[in-house]
Amino acid sequence: MAEVASLVSAVASLLWPALALTALLLFRGPLARIVRAAAHREVEIEIGGQRLTMRELNHQQNELIQDLQRQVATLRKTVDGTKEPKGLPAATPPEPKQPPLEPLPLEPLTRVEPAEAVAPRPEGEPFAVLWVDDKPETKALLVEQLRANGVRVDLVDNTSDAMNLLSRRRFRLIVTDMGREENGAFHPDAGLELLREARDTGVDTPVVVYCMPHNGTQYGARAHGLGAVGVTSSAVELFDYFQRFGLL
């Protein structure tokens, strides 16, 4: 009996390794593909209507985080600059040299909007955005944020298709990049061309240019001259425009 018990124990100890080896042999193909995909971050998910690898998704998330950090740092510098230096005595107001004048009657205050403020759109404006970009996969997280809020986002990659859509549909906002591939060639000022065509055809939909910093520096003034309500390379600032137009 002792020998039988030892035999059963030995077989049991070998059973799990045998099962594991069998599983590896049967599923080695799929497992190898999963391991390779994970190693190279090639697992794809769909966001904002675009197929993204984990590497691309991480890159976009990192860009958004870095942009937010830059905005916070800028805000902190602004706040720190408004604080009075510590240790300095409070300023004493000078004594008046003349008797105080009688106060003048006050007139009702009139609200003055900031020069850069965007006028609110009418209630009947469509809940839709036209996004013109030849690399929409790099804006997938931003597009997904709009769509999650119920906004229809139409994506096109060139000026011609954008103008075609504008002739058939109405939008609350247009977002365009600046430089992009069109008709087999790279146009560094394609965003300006879209603004120009929109103006010439009477399209009054507000346009925000979302581009690389150097493009904003080079073409920003001309974009504003052609009617763009904003030129930015910051996703945080772009979200601010979305909020101004009631999209978020």
Residue 216 belongs to domain with CATH number: 3.40.50.2300
Query: Would residue 45 count as lying in a domain?
Result: no
Place of tokens 């799929």: 30
Q: How confident is the model at residue 76 (pLDDT cuts 50, 70, 90)?
A: low
Is residue 209 in some structural domain?
Answer: yes
* 164 and 230 within one domain: yes
Same domain? For 162 and 62 the reply is no
CA distance 241 to 248: 9
* Residue 167 pLDDT grade (very low, low, confident, very high; cuts 50, 70, 90): very high
The answer to whether position 229 is within a domain reads: yes
Q: Do 239 and 137 lie in a common domain?
A: yes
How confident is the model over 13-26, as a mean pLDDT? 50
The answer to whether position 17 is within a domain reads: no
Q: Which amino acid is at 101?
A: L
Tell me, yes or no, whether 75 and 175 share the same domain.
no
Highest mean pLDDT among 5-9, 178-182, 235-239: 178-182
Would residue 59 count as lying in a domain? Answer: yes
What's the whole-number mean pLDDT along residues 208-226? 96
Burial class (CB in 10 A: 0-12, 13-18, 19+), 162: buried
Q: Determine which helix (DSSP H) or strand (DSSP E) holds 52, and give its type and residue range.
A: strand 50-53
User: Is 13 a member of any domain?
Assistant: no
Same domain assignment for residues 156 and 70? no
My answer on whether 134 and 214 are in the same domain is yes
- Residue 169 tokens, joined: 């549909």
* Highest averaged pLDDT of the listed ranges 26-40, 49-63, 220-234: 220-234
Q: Are residues 132 and 230 in the same domain?
A: yes
Domains: count for the chain: 2
224, 161: one domain = yes
Q: Mean pLDDT of all residues in the chain?
A: 75
Residues 158 and 70 in one domain: no
Prediction pTM value: 0.61
Helix axes 213-225, 190-200, angle to 10 degrees: 20
Are 147 and 61 within one domain?
Answer: no
Residue corresponding to tokens 């510098």: 77
Higher model confidence: residue 54 or residue 212?
212
Q: Is the pLDDT of residue 113 over 50?
A: no
Q: Flag whether 213 is in a domain.
A: yes
In a domain, 173, yes or no: yes
The conformation of residue 177, written as its DSSP 8-state character, comes to -
Domain region containing 203: 128-244
Q: Are residues 153 and 230 in the same domain?
A: yes
* pLDDT for residue 42: 62
